[in-house]
Amino acid sequence: MRFDYIFDALNATPETSGDFTRMLGDLDAVLPEAISVVGNASSLLKTRNGSTIDKLPTLRFNKAQIVVPQAQGERWDFVATSNV
């Protein structure tokens, strides 16, 4: 996988636009067909979406703590964060 140049590819020039296309192909090859995308908005805590979220592979943002599993689900398949 070549994710190390994702941000460079977003600034594509005519000479590098193929890099962005290849990167999207790399992502498409490893991601499942459908995913749950979960942020860390406090409004999520007022829901009961946990079981629905957990039915699919899950992408979570910012390593937010799960405090109400019935609302947030418990599954962690992918994490998107700027902090490693």
pLDDT in tens, 56-75: 999 998 887 899 999 999 99
Number of domains in the chain: 2
Q: How far apart are CA 29 and CA 15, in angstroms?
A: 24
- Are 21 and 60 in a shared domain? no
Write 37-44 long-range contacts (CB < 8 A, 24+): 37/61, 38/72, 38/73, 39/64, 40/64, 44/71, 44/72
Closest CA to 62 of 27, 43, 45, 37: 37
pLDDT tens sequence across 5-44: 444 545 656 666 677 778 778 888 887 888 999 988 999 9
Q: What's the pLDDT at 84?
A: 60
Tokens of 59: 């992408």
**Does residue 39 sit in the same domain as residue 6?**
no
- Reference 60, options 47, 42, 72; nearest CA is 72
Share of the chain above pLDDT 70, in %: 77
Is the same domain home to 46 and 17? no
Please give the model's pTM, rounded to 2 decimal places: 0.64
